[in-house]
Amino acid sequence: MKRVAVLGMPNTGKSTLFNRLTGAGAHVGNWPGVTVDLLAAKILLGDAMVEVVDLPGFYNLHGFSEDEQVVRRFLETQPVNLLLVVLNSSQLDRQLALPLQLKDLGIPMLIVLNMIDESGRLGVRIDLEKLEAALGGPVLTMSAKFGRGLEKVKSELSQQLLLHPKLKSVDMAAFDQDQRIELELDALVSQSVTSPIYLPPSATDKLDRVMLHPWLGLPIFFLMMFMLFQAIYGLGTPLQDGMGWLLDHIKTDAVVPLTAHWPAALKSLVLEGVFDGLGTVLTFLPIIAVFFMLMAIVEDSGYLARAAFLTDALMSRLGLDGRAFVMQLMGFGCNVPAIMGTRIMRSSGLRALTMLIIPFSLCSARLQVIVFIVAATFSPVAAPVALFSLYLTSFVMAFLTAFLFRKRYHSHEPLLLELPPYRLPTWRFLGIESWRAVKQFLAGAGGFIIIGVMLVWFMTHFPFDAVPAGPATLAGRLANLMTPVFSPLGIDALLSIALIFGFVAKEIVVGALAVIYSVGPDRLSDVLTARLDWVQAYSFLLFTLIYTPCLSTVAAIKQESKSWRLALLATAWPLMLAWLTSFTFYQVARALA
């Protein structure tokens, strides 16, 4: 099979082009370092099946970061037919150094000048013939964001693969970088790229005067995040109610008649275990889709890189830098890719400390638990405020952790950050991001949820002659043992069972509650409203927000850090911090009530 490697510097639209070519769901974001792992997809070009591999963004073949090492290892060990090199056409004075370096590897190249719409607005003119002559390969222009020039790129890929049918790998040890590259770069830019002497003030510059203001920048950022959560609650809750209504009708009209003559235990397992538990979780899919659509707007607009810039001074006092803040924001989707994203940091201490704070992010799994309980126990006016306060609490816990462990995991690596221009995301991109998040949630959590709710059902029904979820069941006995631990937090025995299963995956918590109380998604809110006042509910939410990350996150920390000690610390420290925080809140709130 033929193989094409997609390479480029960060923030060139490399992964966007990969997705356009393959239809794959690579994560795309408008800030440097978003691609930190290999993603491959097979496509048909002409009459040949081709494997296209998306490599991490990198600046230099002799760099020291993990992502640059990934590129080197791939080129040494995986032979390819062609390099598809993606450049930002508005920054060729810096971007052209990479293809000049890659040319010496002896592997055929196809160079794509992306973002040609932006460079055109800036008045940049490019002589493609001179670039082709100097780089030794065809040069095309396109806009991957809007798909302009895509068919031409596919056609040229097919032709180049016919011309270069043999796979090639390189010996990086024999590759020698010298000052010749810098001389060639200066000469090539002066011959082939013409830029206006005075660039007109752009909308990006005007916006940055406000968004990056030394005093107003951070308040504006948190105001925007508050508005985002208002929108999540306002748009997502009606959709969630609609999904609950649909599932309730499916249960009543289809599942109940189907299981009417089944044995009692099996019927209970299907209706009160699998359907109620899984159905309650499925009601959150609209909220997850809305959340990721809105976060995609923030991310693809270029604002995340500015959030890193704004917070760098604060983060440096905690032993971190602005990239750690961005990784924490990435963790709002899922902690695992955010943990992997720390590969862009060269300092082991900085990586370890960043991995320690990422699990405090309000990931999508925690989000569904928190949104459900907030909607059930708080008024429509108070609910967005409660949700935003938990969002802020996640940052407080992360900052406190960084402050306490900054001397243990110290670093002096400077922050080098590129601020891309502001961009409006396309509707296609927003739809893809929402669908990718929903699909990833179902694929990653589906198995955990089904197994989890079945285990909860068994624990709340065995022995089968006992009252479901009563003191004689396995769940009742375990809850009785956990009472001394959770009672001071205002968390009752049955709620503690759901938290225990949340150690495996937070997605299980809501489904477990539905099974524990033997109700479907339409009635669980009423049950929680009757059983919890706002103090108990908020204490439970604090514990859920802070306590031990899921097993997949712990495994990712172990894999990326190569340290069991760090993985154990990332497990034990949040658990202790969660108990102390919930205990303090509950006891103080009750004393003041």
Q: Longest C-alpha distance within the chain, in Å?
A: 86
Model confidence pLDDT, tens digit, residues 321-347: 888 887 887 787 778 778 877 876 767
Distance CA 82, CA 60 (A): 19
Please, which contacts does 235-241 make with residues 24 or more away whose CB atoms are closer than 8 Å? 235/290, 236/286, 236/287, 236/290, 236/291, 236/371, 237/287, 237/371, 237/375, 239/286, 239/287, 239/290, 240/283, 240/284, 240/286, 240/287, 240/371, 240/375
Determine the average pLDDT of the residues in 228-250: 82
pLDDT confidence of residue 31: 43
Predicted confidence (pLDDT) per residue in 47-96, tens digit: 889 999 888 888 888 776 667 777 888 888 889 999 999 999 988 988 99
| pTM tops 0.75, yes or no | no
Q: What is the mean pLDDT of the chain?
A: 85
Write down the pLDDT at residue 24. Answer: 64
Domains of the chain: 2-194 (3.40.50.300), 218-413+431-592 (no CATH)
287 pLDDT more than 70: yes
**Average pLDDT rounded to a whole number, residues 580-590:** 96
- Please list, in sequence order, all residues whose beta carbon lies within 8 angstroms of the beta carbon of residue 190, skipping any fewer than 6 positions away: none
Predicted confidence at residue 34, as pLDDT, reads: 47
The per-residue pLDDT for range 159-171, each reduced to its tens digit, is 999 999 898 888 7
Condensed to tens digits (0 to 9), the pLDDT of residues 513-547 reads: 888 888 876 688 888 888 899 999 999 999 999 99
Calculate mean pLDDT across residues 386-402: 93
Q: Is the pLDDT of residue 26 over 70?
A: no
Look at residue 16 and tell me whether its pLDDT is greater than 60: yes
Three-class secondary structure of residue 504 per DSSP:
coil
Residue 293 confidence (pLDDT) above 80: yes
Q: Please state, for a pLDDT cut of 70, what percent of the chain lies above it.
A: 92
Least confidently predicted of 242-246, 252-256, 449-453, 524-528: 449-453
Span 290-314, mean pLDDT?
82
